[in-house]
């Protein structure tokens, strides 16, 4: 601050006010920072997130709307907002989404905008776990919404690893698995578009690295 005062010939009160302004603007900037997490099917995004949230419950992960059927154990309002195609289309028409995508050519997914803005407003570290199309869309809309986006790609140790994980999950039929692996190839090829890449070699490692990224992002002024 001293340097600013000297360089710009500021008085003490001007110096204080400049310092307050800069503190306010950096706080505002922090509030508007958003983490977008993307990774191919079955890479383990859910498990990494669960580990991260267990250690850092102050983080909030956005709950998406989807038109796909719930998997066994998934809870409406917690894992997803499970909606019909009509309900989804209405939300879309009313501008309720930050982004939407037709994923794996099978179902619609979308991030409700208002809860994201509400959490950012309160300074809560906020993560969107969305696909590549959604990540691109959020980046496109960032300036318009005054958001600063940090995109993170969770990568598998290898493509074969994904195939094994998807098969062992056993929640999709052959056709769904084929579609998911097709999308995975496209997503893996787009890895370099992301600001940070984390390899999910072990869940603990990946969760730890993700936390370091979030912590840095939200503590920087």
Positions in the binding site for ligand 5GP (CB under 6 A): 64, 68, 99, 101, 103, 109-111, 129-131, 133-134
User: For residue 48, what are the contacts with CB-CB under 8 A and spacing of at least 6?
Assistant: 154, 200, 203, 206, 207, 210
Q: Which residue is nearest to ligand 5GP (CB)?
A: 134
Contact 112, 187 (CB under 8 A): no
Least distance to ligand 5GP from the beta carbon of 45, Å? 6
Residue where the block lists tokens 């102050």: 58
Q: Which is nearer to ligand 5GP, 18 or 124 (CB)?
A: 124
Q: Count of residues for the chain?
A: 221
Q: Which is nearer to ligand 5GP, 32 or 104 (CB)?
A: 104
Q: Which is nearer to ligand 5GP, 30 or 60 (CB)?
A: 60
Least distance to ligand 5GP from the beta carbon of 32, Å? 19
∠ CA 44-48-53, rounded to 5°: 145
The pair of structure tokens assigned to 88 is 């989804």
Least distance to ligand 5GP from the beta carbon of 52, Å? 15
Between the CA of residue 3 and those of 66, 77, 221, what are the distances in Å?
53, 52, 18
Q: Which is nearer to ligand 5GP, 5 or 141 (CB)?
A: 141
Query: What beta strand segments (E) does the chain contain?
Result: 33-38, 60-61, 65-66, 81-82, 97-103, 107-112, 126-129, 148-155, 196-199
Least distance to ligand 5GP from the beta carbon of 74, Å? 8
Q: Which is nearer to ligand 5GP, 130 or 147 (CB)?
A: 130
Least distance to ligand 5GP from the beta carbon of 190, Å? 12
Least distance to ligand 5GP from the beta carbon of 92, Å? 12
Nearest-10 crossing angle of helices 159-169, 174-189: 150
Nearest to 138 by CA among 180, 91, 89, 195: 195
Q: Which is nearer to ligand 5GP, 97 or 218 (CB)?
A: 97
């Amino acid at each position: 601050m001293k340097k600013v005062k000297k360089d710009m010939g500021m008085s003490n009160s001007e110096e204080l006010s400049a310092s307050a302004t800069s503190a306010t603007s950096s706080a505002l900037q922090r509030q508007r920072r958003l983490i977008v997490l993307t990774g191919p099917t079955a890479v383990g995004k859910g498990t990494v997130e669960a580990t991260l949230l267990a250690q850092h419950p102050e983080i909030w992960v956005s709950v998406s709307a989807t038109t796909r059927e719930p998997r066994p154990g998934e809870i409406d309002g917690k894992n997803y907002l499970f909606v019909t195609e009509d309900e989804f289309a209405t939300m879309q028409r009313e501008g309720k989404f930050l982004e939407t995508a037709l994923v794996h050519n099978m179902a619609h997914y979308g991030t409700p905008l208002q809860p994201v803005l509400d959490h950012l407003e309160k300074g809560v570290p906020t993560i969107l776990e969305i696909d590549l199309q959604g990540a691109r869309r959020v980046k496109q809309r960032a300036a318009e919404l005054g958001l600063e986006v940090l995109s993170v790609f969770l990568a598998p140790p290898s493509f074969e690893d994904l195939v094994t994980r998807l098969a062992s999950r056993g929640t999709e039929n052959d056709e769904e698995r084929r579609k998911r692996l097709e999308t995975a190839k496209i997503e893996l090829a787009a890895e370099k578009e992301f600001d940070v890449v984390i390899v999910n070699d072990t869940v603990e490692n990946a969760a730890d690295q993700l936390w370091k990224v979030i912590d840095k992002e939200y503590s920087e002024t």
